[in-house]
Structure formats: structure tokens, C-alpha cells
Amino acid sequence: MSSRKASATNQGNGLSNGNRERGHLELAELGPLLEEKGDQGPSSSANADDPPCTVTQEEEEEEVRVLTLPLQAHHAMEKMEEFVYKVWEGRWRVIPYDVLPDWLKDNDYLLHGHRPPMPSFRACFKSIFRIHTETGNIWTHLLGFVLFLFLGILTMLRPNMYFMAPLQEKVVFGMFFLGAVLCLSFSWLFHTVYCHSEKVSRTFSKLDYSGIALLIMGSFVPWLYYSFYCSPQPRLIYLSIVCVLGISAIIVAQWDRFATPKHRQTRAGCLLRPNPEGCCLGVQHCGKRVFLGLGLSGVVPTMHFTIAEGFVKATTVGQMGWFFLMAVMYITGAGLYAARIPERFFPGKFDIWFQSHQIFHVLVVAAAFVHFYGVSNLQEFRYGLEGGCTDDSLL
């Protein structure tokens, strides 16, 4: 009898080490949620991260000793069920970075205010209206999405008399708006369901990255269309290169290792600051280069245009000032995101608002808007010329 009990204890201990650690982690994750159940006084808030206990420590230890594996599993299932039920009800609380599971750990300078893992889409979407580390990221691109959807519809509904070649020009503008709307909606969706589960997070992360490629591709189309209006051959070549690079970037974004949130720093950071610790290795190295190549593929047509038209014409009629501003905004945003500024200097102070990723999001929307403004000016210039081409101009 006693030997049987001893073997059960051994079994219990044997299974633990790995499993128990996971069990502790789960308890730590569930703690802030389960706490609501026990009607505890304000004194409990000092220890908000500890799992609540209705039994004493000794009793619990005694219980663990006699628990067999199936019983432990049963208890874990019950806890999970309770947790899922509370999440479904929207009764969850933000948790600190330390207790996040690995797949949700992304930026260790954001110390508190994280959503717990919530395997329910309903709960994720309801969390849009709660305050946590992703609230700013969701809303910056949700509002950006509404803005570009509205601008896109306005442009499409504009009377044809304002265009030289209405159908063609609307298709060209449509590509830009499609890229922007898809990019921004993939982004806010990703940030919304990021905490659902590892699999969902990874899937939407791939969409998020594909969206960036779509925005870059879509932005090139109207710019190349109007800037090289009178030289169709280079226009076709540049457009083809952008399409090949854009599609390559989308393919690269589907690779698991590239789109894993864990590698946040390597994703954007590698572009600017290659580091020797495996940052620029294998898939990510290759993937980064494809995205970098896509972004930089604007340099050649820009130089071509500026040399052919002259600096003055390029910056006035050619709107190069606006496109330069746009590039500076994208690069600044990516740089802040990669370096995790400002939260790096004040850990825990930008958990909810003004963290690097939010600034990056705002700069993306602003840059896309500046691009739209520049392209609209090019369109107006073309309309003012009544479609005619002169021999000595690309524009």
C-alpha cells in the first residue's frame, strides 16, 4: 500500500519537472483572471500576479502529492474551461510581460498591460475597446484603414471629366488604394487577434507582412504611371521589377521563420543594423533582403527621373519633395520600431501609449497619405497638360 503510494508520488514528481513548470506558467497566466472569482479585498491587489488560493499552501502540497496524472490533467482541464468561459464573457485582466507565454513575448520594454492568451475571436475583437499594449496599434491602423477606404471611394466616384483617361487612371489609383486598404486592414486584424493562439498569430503575421509588400507595390503604380507617362518603355520595365520583387516579398512572408513574432527585432532591425547573433542568417537574411530590395527599387527610377528632368523640375512638377518626405517617414518609422525607441530608454513608461510600434503605425499612415497627395498633384499636372507629351520629357 505504502509502496504504491510512494510510486504514485514518484510518478507525480517524475512527470512534473517539465510539466509542472508549464503548470506554474499556466497558473500565472490564469491568475489575474481567476482572481476575480474569489471576492478578495484590496489587500490582494498587492499580489495581483499570484494565483489565488482557497486552500493553504500545505494543504495544496499534500494534495499534489497524492494526485495522479489523470487527476492533474483533469484539474488543468477544469481550470482551462473556467478560463475560456471567463474570456468568452470578456472578464479578463491585463497581465505583466513576465508571465506571457513565449509566443506572445515580443517587446520586453513593455512591462505591463498585456492581454493574456485568449483563444476566442469574439474576446479578441471585444478587446479592441479595452486598454492594453495593443490598443494603440489596433486603432492607429483601424482609423487609417477607414481614412483610405473613404479616400479611395471618393477618388473612384470622382467625375470622369477630371481625368484624361478615366478608366486607366482609376485602375492605377485603385491599385494604390487596394494596397493601402489591404495593408492597413491586415495590420489591425493582426494586432487584434495576435493574442488568440500561436497558430492564429503566425497566420495573421504573414498577412501583415504581405500587406506591407502590397502597399509598396500599390504605391509604385500611380507614381510610375504619371512620372513616366511619356516614356512607356522604362515605365513597363520598372513596373515589372516592382511586381516581381513584391510577389517575391509576399512569398517570403509566408515562410514560417520569417513571420514569427519572436523575431520582431530581426524583421525590421536587420535592414538597418545587421548583428552577428544570427540576425542575418538563412531565411530571415534572405527575406529581409527581398523586402529591402522592394523598398529600394524606387531609387533607380527616382534617379532616372531626376537626371532626365533636372533637379528643379523633379522637385517642383515631379513632386520629389513629397516623395522624399514619404521615404523619410517610412525609414524613421522602421528605425524606431527596430531600435524600440522610446520604450528602450524608459521601460514600462510607454506600455500603453507612444510605444515605438504605434509611432511606426502612425508614420506609415502619414507616409501613405503624403504619397497620395504627391500622386494627386502629378495627376492634376497631367490633366492640366491635357494629356499631351513633349519630346524632351518623361513626365
Task: Give a three-class secondary structure readout of 107-132.
Answer: CCCCCCCECCCCCCHHHHHHHHHCCC
Q: Which is nearer to Zn ion, 204 or 223 (CB)?
A: 204
Q: Which is nearer to Zn ion, 87 or 212 (CB)?
A: 212
* Angle between helical axes of 232-253 and 198-227 (0-180°, round to 10): 180
3-state secondary structure of 95: strand
What is the rounded distance in angstroms from the CA atom of residue 278 to the CA atom of residue 271?
Answer: 14
Which three cell numbers mark 354? Answer: 507612444
Least separation in angstroms between residue 143's CB and Zn ion is 14
Segment 30-59, which members bind Zn ion (CB under 5 A)? Answer: none
Residues in CB range of 320: below 8 A, 6 or more apart: 302, 305, 306, 314
Annotated ligand binding at 357? The verdict is: yes
Cα separation of 333 and 340, whole Å?
10
90: alpha, beta or left, given left = phi > 0 and alpha = psi -120 to 50?
left
Indicate the residue among 118 and 184 with the shorter CB distance to Zn ion. Answer: 184
Q: Which is nearer to Zn ion, 31 or 136 (CB)?
A: 136
- The vertex-150 CA angle with 332 and 219, nearest 5°, equals 45
Please report where in the chains the cell 529600394 appears, as a residue: 296
Radius of gyration of the chain (CA): 27
Q: Return the residue matching grid coordinates 486584424.
A: 189
Cell of 71: 487527476
Nearest approach in angstroms of CB 43 to Zn ion is 39
CB of 168 to Zn ion, least distance (A): 33
In degrees rounded to 5, what are phi and psi of residue 48? -60, -25
Determine the size of the site formed for Zn ion (CB under 5 A): 1
Q: How far is the CB of 389 from Zn ion (least distance, A)?
A: 41
Cell triple for 60: 495544496
361 assigned binding-site residue = yes
**Interface of this chain with Zn ion, residues 166 to 225, rule: CB under 5 A:** 187
Q: Least distance in Å: CB of 191 to Zn ion?
A: 6
**Nearer of residues 192 and 284 to Zn ion, judged by Cβ:** 192
x-or-dash string of contact with Zn ion, 131-170, rule CB under 5 A: ----------------------------------------
DSSP state of 212: H
State which residue, 100 or 334, has the beta carbon closest to Zn ion: 334
Please, which residues have CB within 8 angstroms of residue 315's CB and are 6 or more apart in sequence?
321
CB of 177 to Zn ion, least distance (A): 20
Applying the rule CB under 5 A, the residues between 281 and 340 that interact with Zn ion are: none
Residue placing its CB nearer to Zn ion in the complex, 227 or 355: 355
Q: Is 196 annotated as a binding residue?
A: no
Contacts of 235 (CB under 8 A, 6+ apart): 224, 225, 228, 229
CB of 106 to Zn ion, least distance (A): 11
In angstroms, give the least distance from the CB of 151 to Zn ion: 21
Q: Which residue number places its CB atom closest to Zn ion?
A: 187
Binding mask 373-392 for Zn ion (x = CB under 5 A): --------------------
Report the residue number, 95 or 365, with the smaller CB distance to Zn ion: 365
Annotated binding-site residues read: 191, 357, 361
Annotated binding-site residues for Zn(2+) read: 191, 357, 361
* Site residues, Zn ion (CB under 5 A): 187
